[in-house]
Amino acid sequence: MTDFNQITLNLSEIAELVINRPKQLNALNSETLGEIGQAIDLVQADEQVRVLIITGSGEKSFVAGADIKEMKDKDPMEASEFSQLGNAVFQKIATLRQPVIAAVNGFALGGGCELALACDIRYASENAVFGQPEVGLGIIPGFGGTQRLARLVGHGQAKELIFTGSNIKAPEALDIGLVNKVVAPEELKDAVTKLAERIAKQAPFAVENAKTAINHGLDMPLEQGLHFEAISFGNHFATEDQKNGMTAFINKEKTTFSRQ
Ligand code: CAA
């Protein structure tokens, strides 16, 4: 367990990062964002970590947004720097070599919804609430919401959510593709752990490279994305995991993978 002031990081095969400001509903201030960035660097460098789970402490909130009390008196330059800090940290999550699962255990508003969007997969508890309420505060989403929400759920749904600042509950978030799965609050930890275990059993390089190929593909024309995939596909044939995986299949044996 690596302790920070505002988050907790547990490094193991299935690592867990908990945002730990329950009295502020886990709102993100500059210090929290800085600590998340440091934690992501540790996860990236840790050979044993196969999957990272991000969640919020307490039963009420995943993250209730960027810290409004910290933001209120910022001037335009300071506010833009705050947005750039959030975007840099969330981009680290999005491009982390390991897959990241958001376990959304309550409010995921503003920067909280954006944190979930920066993760690869989102599982939510039935009491989760999603929204980008920024226009009701006189601002726009500033940690990637105008970009990632539209890419995930389409620009029509994203514009409706962002222009109205409306909150939606977990079932509606599932309907529009904002989350992958909704479970009872007491089942969230188990459901996310099972998913992480399943991913952790696969060939690690292959999972990492699949993440990279999907992410790059979203930012490229199809032809370029297919070319990127073909190069990456070929690279796997220089790995032990490919040889062991295919040999085990042909011999009807089970194999474990080593990231080699
Ligand atoms: N920033 C700072 N403090 C926050 C916060 C936030 N985003 N969200 C909640 N808190 C604090 C509250 O101020 C309150 O603190 P005090 O006890 O000191 O008053 C504490 O957390 C508990 O909150 P509430 O009493 O409001 O709890 P509630 O159950 O009545 O309501 C809620 C819960 C609906 C989530 C409500 O707290 C809320 O609307 N929060 C703000 C949500 C929001 O607007 N988020 C977007 C922020 S802007 C942003 O994120 C910009 C960006 O993209 C970068």
**Residue 48 to residue 135: CA distance in whole angstroms:** 42
pTM above 0.85, yes or no: yes
Print the SS3 string covering 185-199. Answer: HHHHHHHHHHHHHHH
* Ligand 1 site, residue 110, Cβ cutoff 6 A: yes
pLDDT digits (tens, 9 = 90+) for 126-158: 999 999 999 999 999 999 999 999 999 999 999
* Ligand 1 site, residue 111, Cβ cutoff 6 A: yes
**Residue 24 to residue 112: CA distance in whole angstroms:** 12
Q: Do residues 109 and 65 touch, judged by C-beta distance below 8 A?
A: yes
Mean pLDDT of 193-204: 97
Q: Do residues 193 and 148 touch, judged by C-beta distance below 8 A?
A: no
pLDDT digits (tens, 9 = 90+) for 158-181: 999 999 999 999 999 999 999 999
Q: What are phi and psi of 255, to 5 degrees?
A: -135, 160
User: 65 C-alpha to center of ligand 1: Å?
Assistant: 7
Q: Where are the alpha helices (DSSP H) in the chain?
A: 30-45, 68-71, 76-94, 111-118, 145-153, 155-164, 170-175, 188-200, 204-218, 222-235, 240-250
At 167, which helix (H) or strand (E)? Answer: strand 167-169
User: 245 C-alpha to center of ligand 1: Å?
Assistant: 48
User: 7 C-alpha to center of ligand 1: Å?
Assistant: 18
pLDDT-derived band at 246 (thresholds 50, 70, 90) equals very high
* Ligand 1 site, residue 33, Cβ cutoff 6 A: no
- What is the pLDDT, as a whole number, of residue 16? 98
- What is the pLDDT, as a whole number, of residue 2? 75
Print the SS3 string covering 67-80. Answer: CHHHHCCCCHHHHH
pLDDT digits (tens, 9 = 90+) for 12-65: 999 999 999 999 999 999 999 999 999 999 999 999 999 999 999 999 999 999
**Greater model confidence, 100 or 257:** 100
Q: Which residue has the tokens 């460098």?
A: 45
pLDDT digits (tens, 9 = 90+) for 56-90: 999 999 999 999 999 999 999 999 999 999 999 99
- How is residue 169 annotated by DSSP? E
